[in-house]
Homo-oligomer: A and B are copies of this chain.
C-alpha cells in the first residue's frame, strides 16, 4: 500500500455499510456541546434526525426545540416515564458523567439504541452497571469516541497497520486546556468528584490519548505508573489538576501521557517507531493534523474539512449505520469500560506511588 493511496482517499467512510433509513434521536442533556456541536452535526447527517430534546428544564428544552425545529421537548422525568417513545429510535446521552447510568438504564428498558458520551460513567462500578443494562436489554450501545471516525485518525491507523512506523517504540500523548478560562465557574461539574468521578484531567482529557492510542495500535494497557497534583484552589476536590502517567500497552509498548485542566491548550499524539513517526498535532479538538515522517519522507496533512461538528457528524453517521445495519459497533460499551478501568488504575497508581497492573 502506498502512503499516497491512503491519503488520496482521506475522507472516505471505509466503515460504511449499505443501509438507508434515518435514525431519530432523543438528545439527553442540553449543555453547550449538545447544542453547539451535536445538533448541527445531526443536521448535517443525512441518516440522522433530532426529534426529541430532553432537559431538566421544560422551558429550556422547549426554547431549544423551537429554535432548532425539533418536534418534541420533554423533561428528564418525562423521559424516564416513557414520554414520546414513538418519536425516537436512539438516545444520545450528553449529561455529566455521573448521570449517564440512569438515562442508559431507561433507554435500555425502552429498547432504544444508545450513543453515550465518554467517559462512560463516573466510576467503574457504575459503568459496569451501564454496560450490563444495555447487554441485558440487547440494545446497541456505542461509547462516543469521535476520534475513531475522524479521517486523520483512521488514515493513521491504516498507515500503522501497513508498517509505516515499523515496530512502534513509544507513544506520547498530551491533552491540556485552561478549563477556568473556558468556564470560570469554580463549581462546574468537571471539578466536582461526585459528578465527574475519579478526577478531572485524566477523565476528561487523558481519555483522548488513551483511547486513540488503543484504537490506532489495537493494544490495551496492562500496567501503569502515574503522578498527579492539584494546587489551584478551584481544584481542591479533585486530585489531578495536572497528571503524568505511563501506560504499558500490550507488547511492552510505553504510552506516556501528560494532562492538565489548568494549562495552555495543547494536544498532541505521537507514535514513534523503528521506521517512522506518525503524529497528530493538534490532535483532539476538531483540528486534527497528520504529520508523517519516514526516512526522507515528510508530509503534513491538515484536516481543515473536519472541525468538531464534522467529527461528530461522522460519529453519528457511523452510529446510525450500525443501528440500521446491525453490524458490530467497535467502540462499544465494553470498549469504553476498559478505559474506565485504566483511568481508575491511573488514580490508584498515583495514590500508591508505584506501578500497578491494570485489572481488566
Would B264 and A170 count as touching, CB distance under 8 A? no
Q: Is A157 an interface residue (CB 8 A)?
A: no
Would B266 and A293 count as touching, CB distance under 8 A? yes
- Among residues of B, the one whose C-beta sits closest to the C-beta of A227 is B254
Q: Is A37 an interface residue (CB 8 A)?
A: no
Would B263 and A272 count as touching, CB distance under 8 A? yes
A132-158 interface (Cβ within 8 A of B): none
Give Cα distance in the complex from A360 to B227, angstroms. Answer: 22
Which residues of B are found within 8 Å of A262, using beta-carbon distances?
169, 274
Q: Is A242 an interface residue (CB 8 A)?
A: yes
Give Cα distance in the complex from A256 to B40, angstroms. Answer: 39
Q: Is A51 an interface residue (CB 8 A)?
A: no
A151-200 interface (Cβ within 8 A of B): 165-166, 169-170, 172, 174, 176, 178
Contact of A174 among B225, B258, B272 (CB under 8 A): B272
Give Cα distance in the complex from A341 to B112, angstroms. Answer: 60
Q: Is A342 an interface residue (CB 8 A)?
A: no
- Among residues of B, the one whose C-beta sits closest to the C-beta of A279 is B266
Would A273 and B264 count as touching, CB distance under 8 A? yes
Which residues of B are found within 8 Å of A244, using beta-carbon distances?
170, 246, 254, 256
Contact of A264 among B172, B266, B294 (CB under 8 A): B294
Give Cα distance in the complex from A274 to B242, angstroms. Answer: 11
Give Cα distance in the complex from A293 to B268, angstroms. Answer: 14
Would B169 and A176 count as touching, CB distance under 8 A? yes
Would A246 and B264 count as touching, CB distance under 8 A? no
Would A258 and B260 count as touching, CB distance under 8 A? no
- Among residues of B, the one whose C-beta sits closest to the C-beta of A201 is B169
CB distance from A249 to the nearest CB of B (A): 12
Which residues of B are found within 8 Å of A229, using beta-carbon distances?
252
Q: Is A354 an interface residue (CB 8 A)?
A: yes
Q: Is A248 an interface residue (CB 8 A)?
A: yes
Given contacts A225-B225, A254-B227, contact A170 B277 (CB under 8 A): no
Q: Is A331 an interface residue (CB 8 A)?
A: no
Would A170 and B260 count as touching, CB distance under 8 A? yes
Contact of A172 among B172, B178, B354 (CB under 8 A): B172
- Among residues of B, the one whose C-beta sits closest to the C-beta of A276 is B264
CB distance from A358 to the nearest CB of B (A): 15
Contact of A272 among B246, B260, B270, B353 (CB under 8 A): B260
Would A277 and B264 count as touching, CB distance under 8 A? yes
Which residues of B are found within 8 Å of A174, using beta-carbon distances?
170, 172, 270, 272
Which residues of B are found within 8 Å of A242, using beta-carbon distances?
169-170, 254
Q: Is A59 an interface residue (CB 8 A)?
A: no
Given contacts A246-B246, A355-B354, contact A272 B276 (CB under 8 A): no
Give Cα distance in the complex from A67 to B160, angstroms. Answer: 47
Q: Is A125 an interface residue (CB 8 A)?
A: no
Q: Is A275 an interface residue (CB 8 A)?
A: yes
Which residues of B are found within 8 Å of A170, using beta-carbon distances?
174, 176, 242, 244, 258, 260, 263
Would A277 and B272 count as touching, CB distance under 8 A? no
A272-307 interface (Cβ within 8 A of B): 272-277, 293-294
A308-351 interface (Cβ within 8 A of B): none
Which residues of B are found within 8 Å of A254, using beta-carbon distances?
227, 242, 244, 258
